[in-house]
Chain A
Amino acid sequence: MNTKQFARALDRHGPVMAGWPETERAAAATLLAGSAEARGLLQAALALDARLQRDLPQPDAAAVARLQAGIARRIARAPLPSPPGPLPRLLALLRPAAPAGWGALATMATCALWLSLSPPRAAPEDPFGPLQTLPLAGDLF
């Protein structure tokens, strides 16, 4: 791992290297032991991380209480949850039939429909028929 790759890994996984994939962590440890530039990158990443931990906004307790009271008030007036319509219920029932996703099931269904509807191609009676028109065919076919 070089310093450029290390910088990318720092931004990708964050500076807490305990959570990195094992191979990248081992390579980064080797790089850090011998590169002051890599250690500088790690320090900068740790500083940003600490700042985000500290300075990202936090809602205050009054806002949380206001939220809970506001929702309780609105829920009290809101109609009861309505059960899902027939289509969502049908989809929920069919979901186990589409383990690879609805797209895959739709493709399979389309193929099956096409195969069942397309007229079967009549097999030529003599597969070598067209070859018999060749001047050199003679009695070979």
Chain B
Amino acid sequence: MPMLLTLPFARLPLEAPRCAPRPMIDPAADDAALMALAGAGDRAAFNLLVGRHGERALRLALRILGDAAEAEEVAQEAFLRAWQAAAGFDPGRARFTTWLHRIVVNLAIDRTRRRAGAPMAGLDAVAELADPGPGPEAAASAAESRAALAAALEGLPPRQRAAIALAYEQELSGAEAAAVLKVSERALEGLLRRARLLLRSRLGGQ
């Protein structure tokens, strides 16, 4: 054996093959940096973005569609499209969240239009989504209130519903909401005005 070690090729297989160390992703990296990594094929970086923005994407889809199962499908589809287009994402043109929310809102509006005329499948489910109240009576009353609001929202045109969903997102400015819908802030205010008018008339004294 010692003789064998003197041969020129003998040392090569004795060492374990070295793998290039996988660079650690900084969890505090901003969205643009994570998208740059995702664009280069880093799935972990993209999953960090999903963890960061998945809930809001799902909430937006749910508020536009009113159906939990459809909202999950739309949010998943939006993230998949974001993954496929990650290499071409240009942070100089739009923030990642604006870009992502635009995909979510457009997909949700398209789906709402496709099923126009059909009743919303998940009104009852939507009424049961939030936490129940302290007692059965309060829970029943809260569920009734949510169902009435869901029915009133169903009667809004999809873009007005999207405007309401965006306007009631915390930490989303009017300018960002307008950018998601690709309208001016004034046009967004117009959508909100018509939506609130319709909602008040449909909810009446409830």
Contact = CB atoms under 8 A, between A and B. Distances in A.
Contact of A58 (B76, B84, B130, B196): B130
B55 interface: yes
A117 interface: no
A23 interface: no
B168 A53 contact: yes
A74 B76 CA distance: 9
A59 B62 contact: yes
Interface in A44-78: 44-45, 48, 51-60, 63-64, 66-68, 70-72, 74-76, 78
Interface in A68-101: 68, 70-72, 74-76, 78, 80-84, 88, 92
Main secondary structure of the interface of B (DSSP, over half): helix
B182 interface: no
Contacts of A54: 145
Given A8-B193, A52-B168, A59 B79 contact: no
B51 A68 contact: yes
A24 B189 CA distance: 14
B50 A71 contact: yes
Contact of B75 (A67, A72, A82): A67
A12 interface: yes
